[in-house]
Amino acid sequence: SQTIHQWPATLVQPVGSPLSLECTVEGTSNPNLYWYRQAAGRGLQLLFYSVGIGQISSEVPQNLSASRPQDRQFILSSKKLLLSDSGFYLCAWSVGNEQYFGPGTRLTVT
C-alpha cells in the first residue's frame, strides 16, 4: 500500500530564515505530487504540483519554491520566510483523480 511521509511535523522559524520541508511517497511509481497550504480556518491553497522529476508548476507567485529531485520526493523551500508563510503545509500524491494527503507540517513564523 502507498504511504506518504512529511517532516518535520512542527516547525517554528523566525522571519527571514530559510525553510525546507520534505515529502516522500512509498508504494507507487511516478505519482503526481502536490504542495498545499492551509491557513487557519481557510481552505486548502494549491502552491505547486509536479508530474515528474524536475517538472514543477507553480500556482501562486510568492517567496516559496519547490523541487522534485527524485520520483517520490518533493521539497518545499524558501530563502526568507515571511510572517504570512505561517500555516499548515500539506503534501499530497495522486495517480488518477484522487489525492491523498500526508500528515502535514505546521509552520509558525515568528
Partner 1 sequence: QKEVEQNSGPLSVPEGAIASLNCTYSDRGSQSFFWYRQYSGKSPELIMSIYSNGDKEDGRFTAQLNKASQYVSLLIRDSQPSDSATYLCAVNLPNTGGFKTIFGAGTRLFVKA
What residues make contact with partner 1 under the rule CB under 8 A? 32, 34, 41-44, 46, 49, 51, 57, 59, 88, 90, 94, 96-104, 106
Q: Please, which residues have CB within 8 angstroms of residue 62's CB and are 6 or more apart in sequence?
A: 47
Decide whether 23 or 81 has the Cβ nearer to partner 1.
23
CA-to-CA distance for 46 and 14, rounded, in angstroms? 24
Decide whether 65 or 94 has the Cβ nearer to partner 1.
94
Minimal distance, residue 16 CB to partner 1, in Å: 27
CA-to-CA distance for 77 and 98, rounded, in angstroms? 25
